[in-house]
Structure formats: C-alpha cells, structure tokens
Amino acid sequence: MKRSILVQSNPDSVRDLRLVRVKKAFLGSIFFILLYFVILYKLYFIFNSTFNLFLEAYTFFSGLFLISRLIIAYFYDDDHSIFISPKKYPSVSFVISCKNEEKSIEKTIDTCLESDYTGDVECIVVNDGSTDNTLAAMKRSKKKHGKKLTIISFPENRGKRAGMSEGIIKSKGEYIVFVDSDSFVKPDAVKHSIDHFLYDPKIGALSGNSLVHNHDTNTLTKMQSVRYGISYDIFKACESVFGTVSCCPGCFSVYRKEAIMKVLDKWRNQTFLGTRSTFGDDRSLTNFVLRSWKVIYCRKAMASTIAPETYKVFFKQQLRWKKSWLREGTNAGSFMWKKNIIAALSFYINLLIPIAGPIIVLRVFFYDFLIKGDTPFFFIAGILAMSFIFGVYYYFIFENKHWWRVLQFTLLYTFVLIWQMPYAVIKLKDTRWGTR
Amino acid sequence: MGNKITVLKKTMTLFSVITIVIIGIWAGYPKFERLFKSIFVHPFYNYTPGNINPIVDTSKLKPAIGVPVLMYHGIMKVPDEENTTLLNFISHMEMLKREGYQTISLQDFDAFYYGDFVLPPKPIVITFDDGRKDSYYPVDRVLEKLGFKATIFVASNRMNRDDAFYLTWEDLQEMYKSGRWDVQAHGRDSHNTFLAGDNKRKGKFLTSRIYSPKTGLESIENFEKRVEQDYLNSIQDIKSHLGYVPAYYAIPLNEYGEHYTSNYEGSAEFNAKMIKKYFRLAFIEGIVGEIRPYHLYSYTLKNSNPMQVVRIEPRNLTTTDIQKVLEAEYPTEPSLSLSYTDPSSFENFLTIENGPTEIKADGLHLKIVEPDSTTVVSAGFIYWNDYTVETRMQRLKGRSTVLLARMTDNKNFVAFGMTDNGIFLRERINGTTTDLRPSILKDSYSKKLNTFKMVLKGNTVTAYFNNTPVYKDVKISSNKGKVGISTWSNSMSDILVKNFTVHN
C-alpha cells in the first residue's frame, strides 16, 4: 500500500517508531478524555438548559449523529479479498470530460492508462468545447497511447453531463471509471475497485478515496486535505457500512456499466424546480444508481485531485457543492427510508443539521452573546473539542500530518461557510457553475 | 462488510469501550455536574459590589419595632412584568446596604414576634417565591458579597418532577448548607388550578372544590382532606430532603379564599385554620410594584397578623421608590405634636382623607361646603396601638367636632366628640356605628374652645372633656389604628383646630 504522499515520516529507526507510538498513545488518551467530557457536557446541557426544546434537540441529535459516526466508521472494513485469475479481470473504460485543462490532461490520461490492471483498459476523453490547447494535448496523448485512447471533441461547450454521457455511450468496458481532468489515479486503484464489484454483485457504484494532490501548497489546501480525509475516511466510510454512499465524487469513482445504462437518460435530462440540473452530476448519478444498487467506498482505491488554492475559487466550489447537496439531498430523501434504518436515520439527521446550523450560530453569537451577554465559550470549546476528536480519529486511520488543521477548518466553517447554506437555498435555481 | 470474525471482534471491543464510557459517565456525571455548576453556574453572575459605603450610622439608632419583608420571583437579564432585572436587583440590594439595612432570618423574625429578640435598627427580610433557578444563580454572589441572607419558599412539586426551570433538591441542600439561604414551604401542588364549575370556570387548589362534569362538586370532606394533605406534603418534602420541619409558609397564589369568591365559602376559614395549625408565620404578597392597597402597612410589628405577614414585591421599582416606602412607613412609637404656633406642622403630618381644609394663622380649619358631607383628616400609622391623643378645637360654624382614634380605614374607628346633642363616645366597626355610652348634654360648651382627650390602652378607652374624665375604661374592640379629626354637618361648617398631639 502506498501512502507516500501525506505520510508524515517514514519511520526508519526504532526510535522514530517509538516516538510515533508515544504520540499516538498521547493523542489517543486525549481523544477519549475529550470524548468523555463532550458527552458529559452534552448530558449536562440537556438536563439543565431551561425550556429550549430546539436547542436541546439540536444538541441531542447533532451529538448522536457525530458520535455514532465514530462507532459506525469503526466497523468500516475495506475487505475485498478475492482470488481471481489475473486474466479474468473485466474490461474497464475511463471516462474523462473536460474543458480548458491543457496543463493536467496529459498527466491524467497517463496515470489512467498506466494502471496496474490485468484486464482491458481504455480511456475516452471528451473535449467539451475547450478554448485553449486541450485538444492538442489530447492529440499528443493519442500518439503515445494509440487505440487505447478515444477522443471525442465537441466544437462548443455542452456541459459535463453531456460529455460524460457521450463517453459512456462510446465506452466498451463493463465498468466505467470517472476521473476528473485534474485528478490522478493511483496505479492499484482500479484493481482494488473491481475486486469489490466482483466480490459483491449487488454493488452498483464505488467511490474511490481522493486525496488532495496539492496538500502542501498553502493553509487552504492543507485544511482541505484534512476535510477531504475526514469526509472520506469517516463519513463516507460510515455510509459504506450500509452500502448507501450518497455521493461518488467525480474526481474518482467507478460504476458498473449495467447500473448506469438503465438510468442514463433520466440522469442526462434531469430537471429540478423546473430548471435543468447542470452541476452536481456526480451526486445525481450516484442517487440514480443508489435506488436499486449498493454503493460503497473503497479506502484503498486512491486518487489525488487538485483542490482550489484561492479562497475565491474555494468558496464558489463550496457553494456549488451545497446547492447540489440540497437538490440531491431532497431527491435521496424520497427513497432513503427504504434502506437500512440506521443509514436512513443518519441521512435525515445529517440533512437537518446543516440547515439548523445557521440558526444555532445566530442564536449563540448574536442573541446570546451580543444581546444577552452570554459568552459563547462553551459553544466554541465544544465545536473545537468535537473537531479535535474527529481529527485524531482520522489521524489514526491515515497519518496525515495536517490532521490538526481540522480545528482551523471548523472555525472557517462555523464563521464563514455555514452562511452559504441559506444563500444556497435562495440561489438553488441559479444553475451557472461560477468557476472552472 | 468484512468477514464475521472481524465484525465480532470489533463488536466486542466496541462493547467494552462503551461499557467503560457508560460506567465512567455514570460515576463521573454527578461530580462533573457539581464541578460544572461551581465553575460555570455559581459565578453565573460574577458580582463586584458598586458603591456600598454606608451613609447612615446605625450604631446610634434605637432597635426597630417592626420588620419589612421584600419578595422577589426571578432575577432575569431581560425585563418582564413579574420579575426583576439583575441590574435593578443589584441596585435594590446596594441601596439597602448603603442605608444600613441588615437582613434577618425568619427564625429571628419569629423570635422577635413571639419572643424577646431585639431587632437591629434597620432590619429587613428578603424572600423569593417558588424556587426558580434564577432566584438563586444570579443572586447568591450578590448576597454573599453584601453579607445578606434570604429565604426561598419552594413549591415542591417542581423539585419533585425535576423541572429544569426550578432548582433541584441538591441545589437547595447546597443553598441551605451555605448558611445564606433558608428554605421554607410554599405548598406542593397548590399552585395548580382546575375546573371549578360547569361553565369552564377555573378554581384554585386551596380555595375551590374540584368540579367534574360526571360527579359534580367534590365533597367538603374530600376538599378538606386534599387541602390539608397539601400542607402536609409541603412540610414532608422539605423534611425528607433537607432534614427539618418548615415553620413558615408563603401562601400559594397569594390567596386562600379570603378575598375572591370561590365555589366554597368555607375555604378561607379552613385554610386559615390549617395555616395556623402547621405554621408559625405565613406570608402574603401585599404591595406589588406600584399597586398598594390602602389597608396594608408594609412593616410587621408585634401586633400585626402573623398569618398574613405583608410583603413588598419590588419587581422593577426604582431604589428611590422602595426607599420612600420603607422610610415613610418606618414604625415609631406613637408621637405627634401639631400646633397653630407652627402651621406647617399641620401640612407635614396630616393626611386629608375627605373634604376641604385650610391652614390659617389661628390654626387648621376643617370646612364643609356641601351639606351632608364629612370632612376627615388623619395622622399617624395604623399599627399604633396604645397612646393618648388630645386636641383643642372650636366649632365656629356647623354641628360637630369629633376626635378619632384607632382608625384603620373610614369604616373602623373610635370617635369621641360633641354635637348639638352633647358629648358622645362611639365605635364604628365595618361601617356600623354604635354608641358605647349614652350621650351627655353639655350644650353650654358647644361653641367654645374645648379640649378632647382619649387614652387608649389595650381594648379600653378613657375619654376626657376639658381634662375631666367623662367616660372611664370603656371596652372597645379595635386594638390599633391612626388618629384623626372629623366633622359632619348638614349645613356649612368651619371647625378650628388649635392643637393636636399624640404621646405614649
């Protein structure tokens, strides 16, 4: 297993190994102490707060949701030990749809086609009306890879969904691997993924584990590397336990072609509130597949993707994600109750928390603090303690040296990003991408 | 996901971790809660006293002869109509401290009322009703820093059902242990109301019989059983959680049937009997904010009714308003000296109850301009009991000159005076006047300057006319009240008052 990127140190000597062990023991004890106090405080709050059912309910459900994540994620097991003759591996088609990605597209194509996979591999790239030299870059790749690479080129921009659908239709493989033009798949990722599909025929889609490629560039990307890590290794892992992963991100995910073909038209022509859905293609496709298939997450199937490096781009991306989260959340809500009861409950609680969040923050920081004069010390201490707990938990799964930046990210979320949610509700019908 | 053996293993590990955590929480929670309250809730308001330098030297003052009682509900940050804001509460307390007030416990109050306890010059009792959290958390530090004590009357069903708005029994134990707080009874379920009639009329627990559409009104026997049980429950709750029998009671909803109609007339008498049976002192809300019933006096003296101790509920009154009430009514031994030589004395010490009056160089004139009316002036306090009251007055025009004593309102007083029909001594009780003795005809004095004097002692009065005793040791039923002068006539009158004095 290669963890070369992000791993803090390769413990060479016994002394280093011991240091790491001491560090882990220390963090582990802080983890349990904090968890203990957080639970005590939540109980204290619920028993002692006076007549505020809304706040009590929020405390109870958010606490239940977050702590249950730790427990459920513990049961996540990336187990797909299966022995199949290397020659019997099914054929796989990579589909990459992109616009104006001349810098990274060649590298992306290379990493895909150079995968350690014994079955047939092909790659279909869709040039979605690029105005730069993307097409030329694709043609250079074509020379290098020959018939393994198919190029589809739209003279003008038709949107990502159109590009992807075109790619799917042209593909010959039994499995479709979606890769973003700025993501790079690890050589063994495809094999790990396909093993899962072969192991359990009910699986219709699989989310790979996307790491942040430019994780050392600046504070923002460092924070994002932890945010990605936690949302994959804890939250997606939890969903995966019940086979109900609600989003297989476009940067790297694998679908059974059979599962896609049945829903392809519906997905391509999806509308929401009377307007045609443009962004959120990944979440939307996962939802269509999730109705009748299991969707899981594979931790070992790694890829790395380039995260936004400036706050402007980052905020636009976050807003887009929130909008698609709102849209697909409501869609998924219509069938999630048919799935596992714990998965369904988690799903609905998770849907309500970010919506109630801004109200709570308004109350704590404006009403309680500015009007009544109560210092929000315990509120801030509480969210920091909770994010520390998640940071340490994640660090135990994956040694990301930036793990503690989850604290920074939580503050950024509480004070800035949370306000995107009400804005996203208002702007739900605005279907422009805003970036890229 | 995964094979069964790993799942089993993980379940076992998780189970042990959860067990440890649950045991840890079960063992640690009470300690944590106490710790948390001590660091977080106790200095909920972290009080630093403002200006509390005494401006009154109490060491030279005589012991007081009466006690005022303050009553609060919650102390809150946001103002509302029934409670007091923290800032107002602090200003009330700091005013008391500056003015030299000293809080006394109800045990001291009891010892004063029933025994020989010598009161400090400016005693005060601070009480809180119901047992709310906001009667304690924001208040305790203030009391602590100012060296004050308080009593909290708890409606114990709130503690029994762990209502988060109210204090817990653990809180109350802690309060009692601190020595600053006394916990006393306020009923258990007696704040409840229920259906008391078929027209959806609501009744109060202590004053009404329960109505049920099927079985009708509760029997008197059941009513009495239920009501007495609540007094006993209230005592039992405090006894079992705090280890002592409460002797003082704040009357729930300020009402046990004596003022308002309920569906059972006997409730007032029954409750009065029960309160007397189980408690030594019982408290009512008397003076609420700016509402001040005429018949209520804000201090409790030895001759006040111990089963209806009047309390002042300041709510959000300004400190000046509270101070005014406390100072204006500060009880003193009966003493008054008004004379025409200092006409302003009439102005300062007399209250005009009815009719036109005028102060001239020769003295005070009581006039009647509308036939068949009464003109009345009063002075002193309704708690005055034994005293000698004397006046020199002359009938210039009109029909009567009357000296009043033991006046509690315009329906209750003792009157000694003179009309065309001679000298009389009468007592008016609840609006009904009776002659205590037959009138004596002394018409020749009727237009002269005469001296009227009454010596009141216990339930007797001796009346003097021009320093000659005319009625001796006459039995009366009142035992306290103000003094006054009145005149009645069916024609225009003018009565001149030269002197008006009261002494022991």
B74-121 per-position pLDDT tens digit: 998 888 888 999 999 999 999 999 999 999 999 999 999 999 999 999
Strand partners, A304: A184, A211
Whole-angstrom distance, CA of residue A184 vs CA of residue A5: 13
Cβ contact A224:A321 at 8 Å: no
The angle formed by the CA atoms of residues B252, B255 and B261, to the nearest 5 degrees, is: 140
Whole-angstrom distance, CA of residue B310 vs CA of residue B73: 16
Q: Are strands B401-409 and B482-489 parallel, antiparallel or unpaired?
A: antiparallel
Predicted confidence (pLDDT) at residue B381 exceeds the cutoff of 80: yes
Residues B464-468, mean pLDDT to the nearest whole number: 92
Q: Confidence band (pLDDT; 50, 70, 90) for B45? A: low
**Per-residue buried b or exposed e for B30-44, using 16+ beta carbons within 10 Å of the residue's own CB:** eebbeebbeeebbeb
Whole-angstrom distance, CA of residue B294 vs CA of residue B287: 10
Q: Which residues of B touch A77 (CB under 8 A)?
A: 1-2, 6-7
Interface check for B29 against chain A (CB to CB < 8 A): the answer is yes
Cβ contact A197:A256 at 8 Å: yes
Q: What's the pLDDT score for residue A377?
A: 83
Handedness of CA B113, B118, B120, B121 (dihedral sign): positive
Strand partners, B407: B482
Q: Which residues of B touch A37 (CB under 8 A)?
A: 32
Residue in chain B closest to A35 (alpha carbons) equals B21
Query: Does the interface predicted TM-score (ipTM) exceed 0.85?
Result: no
Contact A39 B21 (CB under 8 A): yes
Contact B28 A40 (CB under 8 A): yes
Contact A79 B1 (CB under 8 A): yes
Contact A241 B1 (CB under 8 A): yes
Q: What's the pLDDT score for residue A1?
A: 35
Q: What's the pLDDT score for residue A149?
A: 93
Handedness of CA A265, A269, A273, A277 (dihedral sign): positive
Q: Which residues of B touch A50 (CB under 8 A)?
A: 133, 164-165
Q: A18: Cβ–Cβ under 8 A, 6 or more apart, which residues?
A: none
The encoded tokens of residue B36 equal 């948390």
Q: A303: Cβ–Cβ under 8 A, 6 or more apart, which residues?
A: A179, A183, A184, A185, A186, A189, A208, A209, A210, A211, A251, A252
Coil, strand, or helix at residue B365? Answer: strand
Whole-angstrom distance, CA of residue B215 vs CA of residue B147: 55
Cβ contact B499:B339 at 8 Å: yes
The angle formed by the CA atoms of residues B179, B180 and B184, to the nearest 5 degrees, is: 90
- Half-sphere exposure (Cβ direction) of B177: Cα atoms closer than 13 Å: 7
Per-residue pLDDT tens over the stretch B5-28 = 788 888 999 999 999 999 999 999
Handedness of CA B87, B89, B92, B97 (dihedral sign): negative
Per-residue pLDDT tens over the stretch B338-352 = 999 988 888 888 888
Q: What's the pLDDT score for residue A191?
A: 93
Q: Are strands A121-128 and B66-72 parallel, antiparallel or unpaired?
A: unpaired
What distance lies between CA B244 and its chain's CA centroid? 25
How many residue contacts between A and B have a Cβ separation below 8 Å? 52
Cβ contact A171:A94 at 8 Å: no
Closest of A435, A388, A434 to residue A411, by C-alpha: A388
**A46-55, B55-64, B208-217: the lowest-pLDDT one:** A46-55
The encoded tokens of residue A10 equal 């390769």
Cβ contact A65:A346 at 8 Å: yes
Provide the shortest C-alpha distance from residue A357 to chain B (in Å). 24
Predicted confidence (pLDDT) at residue B292 exceeds the cutoff of 90: no
Residue in chain B closest to A243 (alpha carbons) equals B1
Provide the shortest C-alpha distance from residue B170 to chain A (in Å). 13
Contact B78 A372 (CB under 8 A): yes
In B186-306, DSSP assigns E strands to: 193-195, 202-204, 211-212, 216-217, 248-250, 281-288, 299-301
Interface check for A76 against chain B (CB to CB < 8 A): the answer is yes
Contact B25 A74 (CB under 8 A): no
Q: Which residues of B touch A372 (CB under 8 A)?
A: 77-78
Contact B32 A74 (CB under 8 A): no
**Which of A34, A46, A48, A52 is the best substitution to test chain B (most B C-beta atoms within 10 A)?**
A48
Q: Which residues of B touch A40 (CB under 8 A)?
A: 25, 28-29, 32
Q: Which residues of A touch B165 (CB under 8 A)?
A: 50-51
Provide the shortest C-alpha distance from residue B6 to chain A (in Å). 9
Whole-angstrom distance, CA of residue A345 vs CA of residue B345: 82
Predicted confidence (pLDDT) at residue B406 exceeds the cutoff of 50: yes
Q: What's the DSSP call for residue B128? A: E
Cβ contact B494:B398 at 8 Å: yes
Whole-angstrom distance, CA of residue A173 vs CA of residue A91: 5
B81 or B2: whose pLDDT is higher?
Answer: B81
Q: Are strands B299-301 and A271-272 parallel, antiparallel or unpaired?
A: unpaired
H or E segment and range at residue B36: helix B4-36
What distance lies between CA B414 and its chain's CA centroid? 25
Q: Are strands B150-154 and B181-185 parallel, antiparallel or unpaired?
A: parallel
Q: What's the pLDDT score for residue B265?
A: 85
Q: What's the pLDDT score for residue B38?
A: 67
Q: What's the pLDDT score for residue B1?
A: 44
What distance lies between CA A113 and its chain's CA centroid? 24
**Which of A40, A199, A393 is the best substitution to test chain B (most B C-beta atoms within 10 A)?**
A40
Residue A78 φ/ψ, nearest 5 degrees: -85, 55
Predicted confidence (pLDDT) at residue B35 exceeds the cutoff of 70: yes
Residue in chain B closest to A238 (alpha carbons) equals B1
Per-residue pLDDT tens over the stretch B421-459 = 889 999 999 889 999 999 888 766 778 899 999 999 989
Per-residue pLDDT tens over the stretch B222-240 = 999 999 999 999 999 999 9
Q: What's the pLDDT score for residue A368?
A: 75
Interface check for A240 against chain B (CB to CB < 8 A): the answer is yes
B445 or B158: whose pLDDT is higher?
Answer: B158
The encoded tokens of residue A68 equal 């249950």
Low pLDDT (below 50) residues in chain A: 1-9, 435-436
Whole-angstrom distance, CA of residue B210 vs CA of residue B196: 5
Cβ contact B464:B455 at 8 Å: yes
Q: What's the DSSP call for residue B45? A: S
Q: Are strands B123-130 and B66-72 parallel, antiparallel or unpaired?
A: parallel
Q: What's the pLDDT score for residue B258?
A: 57
Strand partners, B203: B194
Contact A48 B164 (CB under 8 A): yes
Residue in chain A closest to B7 (alpha carbons) equals A75
Q: What is the dihedral of CA B21, B24, B27, B32, to 10 degrees?
A: -100
Interface check for A51 against chain B (CB to CB < 8 A): the answer is yes
> How much is the CA Rg of chain B, to the nearest whole Å?
30
Cβ contact B125:B151 at 8 Å: yes
Cβ contact A122:A150 at 8 Å: yes
Strand partners, B354: B376
